[in-house]
Amino acid sequence: MKGSLAQVWRKVQGCGDWEGLVSPSLHPLLREEIVRYGELVSACYKAFELDSSSSRYLSCKYGKGSMFEEVGMGGSGYDVTRYVYVTAPDIMTSIPSIRPGGSCRGRWVGYVAVASDDMTDRLGRRDILVTFRGTVTSQEWVANLMSSLTPARLDPGDPRPEVQVESGFLGLYTSNECGGSRFGLESCREQLLCEISRLLRKYKGEEVSISIAGHSMGSSLAHLLAYDISELGLNHRAPSSTVPVTVFSYGGPRVGNLGFKQRCEELGVKVLRVVNVHDPVTKLPGVFLNENFRVLGNYELPWSCSCYSHVGVEVLLDFLDVKNPSCVHDLDAYISLVRCPREEGIIHEDGVVGNIFERVMSNVVGNFELCRLRRAASGMVDQFLVQSQGAEFLMDNNFLGWMNCLALYMLM
């Protein structure tokens, strides 16, 4: 592929499913874009307030106009237009082990931004960007555990029950504050669809792309948003004109079943998954029942519709530091290895790699007590063991949830 990014941006965004750009080696332009979007996600962690004594606790430390400057990314080329918040689904507040003191306060999870005029010239289009951080709070950890499949039903006119996604991620995406009070926070979904619709109207006369980037749990929200935009047709401008929607996923888990994957492909959603082969998060949910366990020979197994499946094209990385195991899921480690593959992407001296994950785990341990999460997972495993006494449990979607709870319990 020859030409500047402005000339070939559609291919870099996934038109053609990155054929010839991923293997046998990453194309330089695609490598630069993976690093760039990863750094834009990293800004979420750098700006997230983890100090419980701060008035901005669990929110962004900075205002929209200064956020990039404050985190050392003043030359990002994007202007933040809206901050995005999530609230805990009702089911999470019903678990005594992790009940957040009765609070349903929203937590900052990312932002919406749009490319400046200068960046638009460099990219070849006006890029609408949405980024999501990964799991930080105890409620979000439980969302990762509540891994039974449930129909997405994001389009009321065509619910498509065969399209199923992980219930915890869907809950974070669709739950609003305090039971939907008129004065409460809108759901993450409502915030995002409103802002993206506004920006698409504002730039309707320009060439536009929608890029959604996320790490860990944020990757799951990115998948759901991309599917939602495309299923509702928000990116359709004319019968023959569609705004491309691309997900850049870093260390992301599986999000839905085979029906979800197939529907994303039908809608033209492009997903580039950057994966460390040693990262356990990328193997969940569906650690036991996944796309590799759907068929036996030529026979499709009866639970195949309940198997989780990854979406998109995979970029494989391979890094492991036995002295610092947390780095296998660290976003900075991911970015470092993509940027400098011949240097193994592992930084020991300056403490950059592992810093994000260590801060997150320190927050969980210090403020929410990791042992309480383990007790919650243990309780779910106990419930699974009781349910498993019935012969019908294998056909129940909750079986997947209990199996993933068991796997995470063993890891904790």
Catalytic residue numbers? 216, 279, 329
Q: How far apart are CA 195 and CA 82, in angstroms?
A: 7
Would you state the structure tokens that stand for residue 29, as one six-digit string? 């332009």
Structure tokens at 389: 């006494």
CA–CA separation, 116 vs 381, rounded Å?
A: 50
CA 126/CA 166 separation, integer angstroms? 32
Rounded CA-CA distance 309/251 in Å is: 15
3-state percent helix, strand, coil for the chain, nearest multiple of 5? 45, 20, 35
Cα separation of 140 and 124, whole Å? Answer: 37
Give the chain's radius of gyration (CA, Å). 20
Cα separation, 182 vs 289, whole angstroms: 41
Q: How wide is the angle at C-alpha 313 spanned by C-alphas 263 and 203, nearest 5°?
A: 70
Peptide bond into 280 cis (omega under 30): no
Looking at this protein, which amino acid is placed at residue 46? K
List of E strands, 216-367: 236-238, 241-242, 245-250, 256-257, 270-276, 295-296, 299-300, 308-309, 313-317
Amino acid of residue 257: N
Q: Report which of 69, 57, 70, 61 is spatially closest to residue 105, judged by C-alpha positions.
A: 57
Tally of CA atoms within 13 A in the half-sphere of 140 that contains its CB = 25
- For 354, the enclosing helix (H) or strand (E) is none
Cα–chain-centroid distance for residue 20? 25
For the chain, counts of helices (H) and of strands (E)? 14, 15
